[in-house]
Amino acid sequence: MSAKWRVRIVIGLFVAVLAAAIYFPILKRRVKRQAQVQQKSEEQARRELVLSLNAANGNEPKVKAKLFWAADAEYSGLAADTVELPLSNDPVLRSKQVLNTLLAGPVDSELRTLPPDAALLAFYLLPDGTGVADFSEAMANSIPSGVQSEQLAVDSITRTLEANVPQVRRLKILIHGQEVETLAGHLDLTGTFPVSAKPAAPSPAPAAK
Amino acid sequence: MNRLIRAIPALSLFGVLLGAYATHSQSPAAGSPPGTTQGAQISTPGRAGLNLVVLDPAHGGTDPGARGSAGIREADLVLELTAQLRHSLESQGFQVLQTRTGNENPSFDDRSALANAQSGAIFVSLHVSSTGLSGTVRVYTMADMPQTQATGGLIPWDLAQAPYLPLSRKLGDAVQGELTQRFKGSPMNFQPAYVRQLRTTAAPAIAVEVSSVAMEDKADLDKMLPGVAEAIARGIVTFRPSYVTPNVPGARP
């Protein structure tokens, strides 16, 4: 092989490597952006569904509900967001409404505290003010693992209930109807979480709706 | 004589049972799977106060813990961190025990049992999160627990951490202070959380969580580990003079 061809091959290889070095990061960004767009559209659909379900409860007057999502993408804490919802006066229905809205997530998906595919299966309220929230398995399987993310998830639930349903004094979390030891390997779910220390109005008998 | 011979098996059985009871009552927490009625013995500090650190690399075995897109596994990283922290602590004169040394996953209770059987010990559970500002480290102590009455030196297993909460908070303060100095952006104070592992531990206990497995390059996390280990060890050294036996009825003098 002549020296001329060797030079051409080397130049060709160099150009190919250079092109790959430029093209692959662009491709990676495009794929990531596409995934985000898809996720956002799924979340948007979910939000719209929850809002339409809440809107179906149209005979109730709209009130300003306070929902707690992550304050920033680093999960440094929670921030309250006010959403107008036609909330029921019944504490069980009201709890389900606010928790479903919490699950639907904020407009900015990076601030969500609960997995997008998790669902609230049932909510009960015991006469002593203990709320029992039964979530689907996705709540435990899809949540980011860690003390920080798991504690923030539970805090967002308890603070949202505290702000909107004063009858709930403490919260027990079940996963698919079962008591589990931890949420995702860290946070203790064997006990109850305090929700509100304020005296509550008498609660109705336990009921699943 | 025949009666005596016939009584030998019964006497032997009685002896075995008596021996088993004596052994169990001396170390009720050590290695025994606890139930709701099982107690955790309140350990008294050794003659020289705090002298032992139980390190708990979380997860392991079939539980990899948090996983990053770059293939980073929490269970592996915490084992590396434990090795470095062990070295730092031993060079400060502490004895160190580990709840696991390889790729196995003891239960929460088995991990607590190891600490609960010791005297003059503290417990440090090590984690790497999926979330949080990369390059920061947080310390957690158990959130508020109901007060419990000790009976005959025993406290309910499920509330074993309760009498140690004030000491755990002091330990959390000392360790978080060191970590915040070294890793900018880390919180100024420890945070209370309902960490399952801490609840059943009858010793001053904290969980330390590094952010995060979401880092794109494992080398960045690897670079953090020696600093994290050194800061935790310094925090424990700072805490050492504060270590006292909690004032719990039934605690041995």
Verify that A9 and A26 share a domain, yes or no. yes
DSSP state of B209: E
Instruction: Name residues whose C-beta falls within 8 Å of residue B95's C-beta, 6 or more positions apart in sequence.
Output: B51, B52, B53
What is the predicted pLDDT for the residue at A42?
Answer: 59
The reply to whether residue B132 touches residue A188, judged by beta carbons under 8 angstroms, is no
3-state secondary structure string across chain A: CCHHHHHHHHHHHHHHHHHHHHHHHHHHHHHHHHHHHHHHHHHHHHHHHHHHHHHHCCCCCCEEEEEEEECCCCCCCEEEEEEEECCCCCHHHHHHHHHHHHHHCCCCHHHCCCCCCCCEEEEEECCCCEEEEEECCHHHHCCCCCHHHHHHHHHHHHHHHHHHCCCCCEEEEEECCECCCECCCCEECCCCEECCCCCCCCCCCCCCC
Q: Is the pLDDT of residue B28 over 50?
A: no
Domains of chain B and CATH, by start: 40-242 (3.40.630.40)
Our count of domains for chain A comes to 2
Verify that A108 and A5 share a domain, yes or no. no
Tokens of A128: 């002593």
Of A74, A76, A151, the CB nearest to B194: A151
The reply to whether residue A146 touches residue B194, judged by beta carbons under 8 angstroms, is no
DSSP state of B211: S
Q: What is the mean pLDDT of residues B79-83?
A: 98
What is the predicted pLDDT for the residue at A31?
Answer: 79
Q: What is the mean pLDDT of residues B89-116?
A: 97
Which of residues A207 and A43 earns the better pLDDT score? A43
Chain B residue closest in CA terms to A73 = B132
Verify that A146 and A92 share a domain, yes or no. yes
| Chain A residues closer than 8 Å to B195 by CB | 147, 186-188
Of B65, B128, B131, the CB nearest to A75: B131
Angle at B190 between CA B210 and CA B63, to 5 degrees: 40
Of A144, A148, A154, the CB nearest to B138: A148
What is the predicted pLDDT for the residue at A113?
Answer: 97
Please classify residue B118 by burial: count the beta carbons closer than 10 Å to its beta carbon, then call 0-12 exposed, 13-18 middle and 19+ buried: buried
Its domain, for residue A139, covers: 57-209
Verify that A119 and A161 share a domain, yes or no. yes
Q: Rounded to whole angstroms, how far apart are CA atoms A86 and A51?
A: 10
Which of residues B35 and A70 earns the better pLDDT score? A70
Verify that A7 and A45 share a domain, yes or no. yes
Of A74, A145, A147, the CB nearest to B195: A147
Q: Is the pLDDT of residue B18 over 60?
A: no
- Lookup result for tokens 């809002």: A51
Query: Which residues share a beta bridge with A194?
Result: A170
Verify that A8 and A91 share a domain, yes or no. no
Query: Which residues share a beta bridge with A170?
Result: A130, A194
The last residue of one of the domains, among A53, A74, A97, is A53
Verify that A161 and A207 share a domain, yes or no. yes
Verify that A120 and A148 share a domain, yes or no. yes
pTM recorded for the entire structure: 0.77
**A158 vs chain B: nearest CA distance in angstroms?**
13
Q: What is the mean pLDDT of residues B97-119?
A: 97
pLDDT digits (tens, 9 = 90+) for A118-169: 999 999 999 999 999 999 999 999 999 999 999 999 999 999 999 999 999 9
Q: Rounded to whole angstroms, how far apart are CA atoms B136 and A98?
A: 33
The reply to whether residue A188 touches residue B140, judged by beta carbons under 8 angstroms, is no
Q: Rounded to whole angstroms, how far apart are CA atoms A113 and A151?
A: 10
pLDDT digits (tens, 9 = 90+) for B83-93: 999 999 999 99
Q: Among A46-55, A115-124, A184-193, B92-101, which is the least confidently predicted range?
A: A46-55
Q: Is the pLDDT of residue B149 over 80?
A: no
**ipTM higher than threshold 0.90:** no
Residues in A lying within 8 Å of B, measured between beta carbons: 74-76, 144-149, 151-152, 154, 181-182, 185-188, 190-191, 193
Verify that A165 and A69 share a domain, yes or no. yes
* Cβ count within 10 A of residue B104: 11
What is the predicted pLDDT for the residue at B148?
Answer: 73
Q: What is the mean pLDDT of residues B160-171?
A: 96
Beta strands B39-41; A193-194: pairing state: unpaired
Verify that A136 and A61 share a domain, yes or no. yes
B155 pLDDT band (50/70/90 cuts)?
confident
Verify that A104 and A166 share a domain, yes or no. yes
- Lookup result for tokens 């360790």: B175
Q: Rounded to whole angstroms, how far apart are CA atoms B116 and B49?
A: 16
**B195 vs chain A: nearest CA distance in angstroms?**
5
Verify that A73 and A150 share a domain, yes or no. yes
